[in-house]
């Protein structure tokens, strides 16, 4: 009888040296530098954006946090930190487009939730955020997608409005996008993370 095949590897080695178990992620194996590094190299829109550089998930995350603050001036720093980390799991699973997520279904969502919980714990946040905060972050995420669609991904404003709610917050005119090189996007993400952690009183 042939020897059974070994179980497939379900962990990823990070540049920090950590081994992150994707099936049972531990917050002790989450390093923010690994998160920022990974997100800075994951393109939004499958890379179908204008410019010499891809518009990365790291830069998108900073944009979402900024919009959340502009649209909700009273949002507590800890929830702005949650906004910054809203796509955190993508540092290992990539930015799957919405149609693909719909095809994959529940297993993907469960994996994403476990990773998000570990990232939140590492950042000093609860595994899940209040529903009102979750909705505010989602609105900021959709607004960010609208700006990206119209400024970088070739959508007209009318076409973008069919898929992403047109932003209505007062200071929306301040949003102008320019894709950054990965290292610059990584550093911008880490800077916002450090500033928000400090505002939360975590450091």
Q: Does residue 10 lie within any of the structural domains?
A: no
Task: Give me the phi and psi of 143, to 5 degrees please.
Answer: -65, -40
Token reading at 115: 């990773």
> What is the spatial distance between Cα 184 and Cα 77, in angstroms, rounded to a whole number?
23
Q: Does residue 14 lie within any of the structural domains?
A: no
Q: Does residue 69 lie within any of the structural domains?
A: yes
Token reading at 71: 């649209």
Query: What average pLDDT does this structure show over 86-90?
Result: 96
Token reading at 27: 């917050």
pLDDT digits (tens, 9 = 90+) for 136-184: 999 999 999 999 999 999 999 999 999 888 898 888 878 999 999 999 9
The overall pTM is greater than 0.85? yes
SS3 119: helix
Q: Does residue 173 lie within any of the structural domains?
A: yes
Q: Does residue 17 lie within any of the structural domains?
A: no
Q: Does residue 192 lie within any of the structural domains?
A: yes
**Domain holding 119: CATH number?**
1.10.3210.10
């Amino acid at each position: 009888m042939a020897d059974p095949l070994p179980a497939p590897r379900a962990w990823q080695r990070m540049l920090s040296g950590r081994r992150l178990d994707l099936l049972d992620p531990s917050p002790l194996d989450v390093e923010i530098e690994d998160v920022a590094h990974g997100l800075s190299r994951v393109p939004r829109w499958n890379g179908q954006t204008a410019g010499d550089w891809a518009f990365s998930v790291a830069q998108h995350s900073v944009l979402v946090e900024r919009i959340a603050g502009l649209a909700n001036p009273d949002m507590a720093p800890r929830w702005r930190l949650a906004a910054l980390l809203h796509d955190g799991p993508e540092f290992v699973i990539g930015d799957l487009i919405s149609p693909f997520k719909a095809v994959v279904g529940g297993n993907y969502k469960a994996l994403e939730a476990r990773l998000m919980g570990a990232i939140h714990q590492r950042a000093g946040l609860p595994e899940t955020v209040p529903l009102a905060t979750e909705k505010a972050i989602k609105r900021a995420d959709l607004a960010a997608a609208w700006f990206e669609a119209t400024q970088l991904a070739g959508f007209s404003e009318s076409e973008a409005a069919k898929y992403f709610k047109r932003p209505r917050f007062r200071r929306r005119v301040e949003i102008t996008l320019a894709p950054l090189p990965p290292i610059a996007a990584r550093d911008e993400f880490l800077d916002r993370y450090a500033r928000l952690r400090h505002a939360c009183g975590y450091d």
